[in-house]
Structure 1
Amino acid sequence: MSGKEFVLPLYFIRRQTRFSLNEKKLVIFLLSTSLATLLLIFSSLPPNSQFNGDELNKFFVPKLNNSKIIHQENLHNHEINFKNKKLGNDNQKPMHDVRPEIDAKNLQRRETVKNMTLLAWNGYKKYAWGQNELKPIRKSAHQPGIFGNAVELGASIVDSLDTLHIMGLDEEVKLGYEWIKQKFNFKVNTQMSAFETNIRFVGGFLAMYALTNDKLYLDKAVEVADSLMPIFNSPTGIPYSLFNPVSKTVSNYNWAAGSCSILAEIGTISLEFQYLTDMTGNKIYQEKIDKIYDTLLKNKNQNGLYYNYINPSTGQYCGSQASIGGLADSFYEYLLKFWLYKKKADKNILKMYLDSIDALKSHVYSKSKGNLGYFGEYSNNYVTPKMGHLACFAGGMFALTAIQVDELSEEQKKMYKDMAIDITNTCHESYIRTATHLGPESFSFDSTNEAYAADKYYILRPEVIESYFYLWRITKDEKYRDWAWDAVEAIEKYCKTENGYSGISDVNSPNPNKDDVQQSFFLAETLKYLYLIFSDDDAISLDKYVFNTEAHPFPIRN
């Protein structure tokens, strides 16, 4: 071994037929010691007991805590050794090494979610492998417009790998890894969404790098992030919405007010780009973030609101629409999470976050006649009493605020916690008041109806379940697990197909039509949050990780 031949001790080698006197004494001593050990073992047994294999194990086999044994069908030897890599940060330990203590009911629920994930993954693998998403009924690929005509980016692979990893589905991870290594190519000549590219591809690759320390993922994240760089070429540094990785042309959506940039999109870059700077040492990514926030702070409204559209040429707002839902949602989410990621060190970002929520609470938050809290849609000093499914993430954000922001007074912490509970309850009501127990894309309030479906379709969105996850973690109220399970049963009943899962057209129909699209975020977010709800807190600690808006976990700086 190590160039040296291993030599047994001399007294174990038969080198002659007769023992010397010293050797005889040594043999007698060893036999005596062994006999004494056996007598001690037998004397420790209960009277009249038989000595069987189980009794013997008590003496020679270390006692194991069964609750800590890994409950996993497939363990863990493959070419990409994700489990045993030595990581440079304790926060980056592979999460499925930890098998939490959970009761039998929630263990079974978790296994159900894992089986749902396998059904969704296997359908995609069989009928749309390497393409972006799956049509589970037609058994073909679906190409979302957010990626232009780029049909083979493997969006569902990149988006779902960390979910598979957390669940310990290592053979599936290995398959995705090999596709990325051999087939992934982002040099596509088409116009696509910078926002979706960042949260799904850059975020997905970075999360897998954090969990495995495999540099392939970091290299791919850099490749995609670098292709995004032209979107920042505006006079203010405010990024454009659309880009072409090959021609490097950029633009904004024609439907956006004044063809301006969108608040949620310009504010949902900081986590990914700061982590890139921290992992690569390249400060260009951090500089892009800093310029965005500088521009926003210079153009702050007197009422404290950040409007949904901003002109990348001037930094001025386009119109006066504000909300915490679509077009704005993850801007607020990333203010809080960026501050958390930076180890709570950036006081300016924290102030920006707290001030923005104060403004939203003053101008946009209301309670219905039935005492349901909701965030409406603000425009020109008028609030429409309508809330989108996308805004339901806010319950989780406020819960995280209540436990993480030490600068708040006890009264303020209670305010955030109460608002978290109220918003999550309202979003739960939007589910259970429908025929399917699935939530609509948006819901409204009037003098006679509360949380009734406005846009009635459901596309496997995660935001309500995301808030259940945070509220469960923070309150330990079992009702949030039960609410999540109710959603699982509804998804199984109305969205499940032979080859995966589909959205539905009308949550109020007992027999809704299916839209035949399995969104990549169903694997990235919905199923991940469900799995974590039925797991112990150690499955992923909120003190060690922050999720990006696509539910990809990043380790907090140490």
Structure 2
Amino acid sequence: MSLRSQEQLVVGVGVMFLLTVCITAFFFLPSGGADLYLHEENHVHVRDTFNREEVRRKEQRELLRKAEEANPMPIPKPEIGAADDAEGRRIFVKQMIKFAWDGYRKYAWGENELRPNSRTGHSSSIFGYGKTGATIIDAIDTLFIVGLKEEYKEARDWIEKFDFKESAKGDLSVFESNIRFTGGLLSAYALTGDKMFLNKAEEVATVFLPAFDTPNGIPYSLLDLQSKRGKTYSWSNGKAILSEYGSMQLELDYLSNLTGNPIFAQKCDKIRDVLTSMNKPEGLYPIYITLEETPRWGQHLFSMGAMADSFYEYLLKQWISTGKTDERTKREYEEAIFAMEKRMLFKSEPSNLWYFGKMNGNRVEHTFEHLACFSGGMVVLHAMNEKNKTIADHYLKLGKEIGHTCHESYARSTTGIGPESFQFTSSIEAKTERRQDSYYILRPEVVETWFYLWRATKDEKYRQWAWDHVQNLEKYCKGAAGYSGIRDVYSSEPEQDDVQQSFLFAELFKYLYLIFSDDDVIPLDQWVFNTEAHPFRIRH
């Protein structure tokens, strides 16, 4: 959108000032005589008018550069304006993407993420301690989809020169690298047909193969690419985590299908075989599993949220991605969701809000996580692909109820943004009184569910809820050069955490853009999203 009138005036004055400096420099810088100019930098004598003018133009450009460094022009910030229809709102989201990308490009290019207020690079422990350009790879398919052509090209050019193995340092998360790096590159290939992306995806996946060298084939959580040593998290007592080892198949099976190299699919098939063979307590999957030759479940902790979530998502999406031919994963998905509905689905009083609780053995914790809000979209996607109308109607209703509950967690906060997790007790519903749960780190799961609900129902309220979130992001999360998480959604002036997560581009921005787009932009009968919202083509 255009800058406001006052900002235009400021920019105009600034431009006039710079032009005045240049013109002054043109006439008054010493030239060393009418016909002779000695260019000290290159030690050449310039005797003709053309060369003399070229030297002066170079000096003018240098003056402009120095002036800009002394008084840098602000990165333009989009205004809410009169975006009162789907097209206007979609354009506004595109401007948000451009603003956030420009900040990253200017202050953290090649780093994993940006600190938008400090204007420096940022990297969380999941990326080790190297500079692996997580934001570039996570964002490139979104840049392509929304039509930011120049930004897409500069991202593509950076990726072409990027050597993941050389750049990565320390212990990297195998799961996060798979969904962000392998997934992002595969998506870029699927969208563009550019073979470079496929080659890079295979390179990344190949360097992580040593993580699967365990007694039972379930991968380590972390891998040092230099030493090729894998390990689990120190706090997991030597065990692997369901959401991590169980969320590899979509990317690696797709990679094998595209390249003809079976090794990647074989690694995931081994994981699936292990899980199929194991007894599930009351049909439920515990969060932890050992890496012994004969694996055992760890403590009987069950969740739809952290450390479990995307496992269920991938059972469903693997079936869809194979053109609905992988019947094993479909059957195991249905069995798992049925068991979770039976044991873990609750309705609050007095508002009748539906949510999946957490379980430790038989003890229930009536907490629903922001991460678990993805489940509404998952069951809606199930409904959209289910032939049995009774089953489809059931899961569409469940998806609507989950979408409503998660919206309530947003509506009941001061900022209109939902917390990391929220409780249902005798005194509160869809809120948290725990300070440690009241933060928001630009998570996409609530909007993700609204996106699927919009595609399935065309109920305008889902677009309105998404637009409300856009405005709240602008009000509370926009920083100096990008968007930041906030530390307390119940504060009227929340402190920002100064981190622009890479998944802001991959997930939140993409879902916001798509919810205001026509259905033929990434149609769900042709594409399936991985858990980082990178779209892959469905095999038919």
Bin for the TM-score computed over the shorter chain = 0.7 to 0.9
Residue 381 of structure 2 corresponds to residue 400 of structure 1: yes
Residue 445 of structure 2 corresponds to residue 483 of structure 1: no
Identity %: 50
Residue 443 of structure 2 corresponds to residue 461 of structure 1: yes
Residue 344 of structure 2 corresponds to residue 381 of structure 1: no
- Equivalences for residues 303-382 of structure 1 within 5 A: 303-313=282-292, 314-369=294-349, 370-382=351-363
Which deviates the most, 300-309 or 456-465? 300-309
Shift of 1:333: 0.3
Counterpart of 1:472 (choices 410, 432, 454) is: 454
Alignment-derived partner of residue 421 in structure 1: 400
Alignment-derived partner of residue 11 in structure 1: none
Residue 488 of structure 2 corresponds to residue 506 of structure 1: yes
Residue 203 of structure 2 corresponds to residue 233 of structure 1: no
Shift of 1:231: 1.2
Residue 132 of structure 2 corresponds to residue 153 of structure 1: yes
Counterpart of 1:253 (choices 233, 249, 253) is: 233
Residue 114 of structure 2 corresponds to residue 130 of structure 1: no
Counterpart of 2:197 (choices 217, 227, 230) is: 217
Letter in 2 for 1:322: F
Distance 1:402 1:299 in 2: 28
**What SS does the aligned partner of 1:255 have?**
helix
Indicate if the aligned counterparts of 1:263 and 1:331 stay in contact, CA closer than 8 A. Answer: yes
Query: Comparing both chains, which one has the higher relative contact order based on Cα–Cα distances under 8 Å and sequence gaps of 6 or more?
Result: 1
Indicate if the aligned counterparts of 1:127 and 1:139 stay in contact, CA closer than 8 A. Answer: yes
Shift of 1:205: 0.3
Aligned residue pairs, count: 452
**What SS does the aligned partner of 2:443 have?**
coil
Counterpart of 2:123 (choices 143, 148, 160) is: 143
Tell me, which stretches of 5 or more residues in structure 2 are unaligned?
Answer: 1-82
Letter in 2 for 1:526: L
Shift of 1:366: 0.6
Letter in 2 for 1:271: L
Distance 1:339 1:148 in 2: 33
Alignment-derived partner of residue 438 in structure 1: 417
**What SS does the aligned partner of 2:282 have?**
coil
Shift of 1:239: 1.1
Distance 1:337 1:141 in 2: 34
Alignment-derived partner of residue 506 in structure 2: 524
Distance 2:161 2:333 in 1: 42
Shift of 1:310: 0.7
Letter in 2 for 1:166: I
Letter in 2 for 1:472: W
Alignment-derived partner of residue 35 in structure 2: none
Indicate if the aligned counterparts of 1:194 and 1:243 stay in contact, CA closer than 8 A. Answer: yes
Alignment-derived partner of residue 155 in structure 2: 176
Indicate if the aligned counterparts of 1:189 and 1:247 stay in contact, CA closer than 8 A. Answer: no
Counterpart of 1:277 (choices 256, 269, 284) is: 256
Alignment-derived partner of residue 94 in structure 1: none
Distance 1:226 1:524 in 2: 23
Shift of 1:255: 1.1
Shift of 1:538: 0.4
Instruction: Please give the per-residue CA displacement for 1:21-74, whole angstroms capped at 9, x wherever unaligned.
Output: xxxxxxxxxxxxxxxxxxxxxxxxxxxxxxxxxxxxxxxxxxxxxxxxxxxxxx
Letter in 1 for 2:539: R
Shift of 1:448: 2.1
Indicate if the aligned counterparts of 1:136 and 1:518 stay in contact, CA closer than 8 A. Answer: yes
| TM superposition score normalised by structure 2 | 0.83
**What SS does the aligned partner of 1:134 have?**
strand
Indicate if the aligned counterparts of 1:263 and 1:310 stay in contact, CA closer than 8 A. Answer: yes
**What SS does the aligned partner of 2:404 have?**
helix
Which deviates the most, 349-358 or 176-185? 176-185
Shift of 1:412: 2.1
RMSD: 1.1
Alignment-derived partner of residue 479 in structure 2: 497
**What SS does the aligned partner of 1:517 have?**
coil
**What SS does the aligned partner of 1:438 have?**
coil
Indicate if the aligned counterparts of 2:238 and 2:291 stay in contact, CA closer than 8 A. Answer: no
Residue 524 of structure 2 corresponds to residue 545 of structure 1: no
Instruction: Please give the per-residue CA displacement for 1:59-103, whole angstroms capped at 9, x wherever unaligned.
Output: xxxxxxxxxxxxxxxxxxxxxxxxxxxxxxxxxxxxxxxxxxxx9
Distance 2:84 2:345 in 1: 40
Alignment-derived partner of residue 87 in structure 1: none
Indicate if the aligned counterparts of 1:238 and 1:315 stay in contact, CA closer than 8 A. Answer: no
Shift of 1:104: 6.6
Instruction: Please give the per-residue CA displacement for 1:309-367, whole angstroms capped at 9, x wherever unaligned.
Output: 11121321110001110100000000000000010011111110000001111111111
Distance 2:162 2:524 in 1: 34
Letter in 2 for 1:321: L
Letter in 2 for 1:397: M
**What SS does the aligned partner of 1:497 have?**
coil
Letter in 2 for 1:484: A
Indicate if the aligned counterparts of 2:128 and 2:169 stay in contact, CA closer than 8 A. Answer: no
Letter in 1 for 2:296: Q
Distance 1:276 1:347 in 2: 20
Alignment-derived partner of residue 391 in structure 1: 372
Shift of 1:259: 2.4
Indicate if the aligned counterparts of 1:399 and 1:474 stay in contact, CA closer than 8 A. Answer: yes
Shift of 1:144: 1.0
**What SS does the aligned partner of 1:539 have?**
coil
Shift of 1:551: 0.3
Letter in 1 for 2:360: S
Alignment-derived partner of residue 556 in structure 1: 538
Shift of 1:474: 0.1
Letter in 1 for 2:197: Y
Alignment-derived partner of residue 268 in structure 1: 247
Letter in 2 for 1:196: E
Distance 2:279 2:527 in 1: 30
Indicate if the aligned counterparts of 1:296 and 1:315 stay in contact, CA closer than 8 A. Answer: no
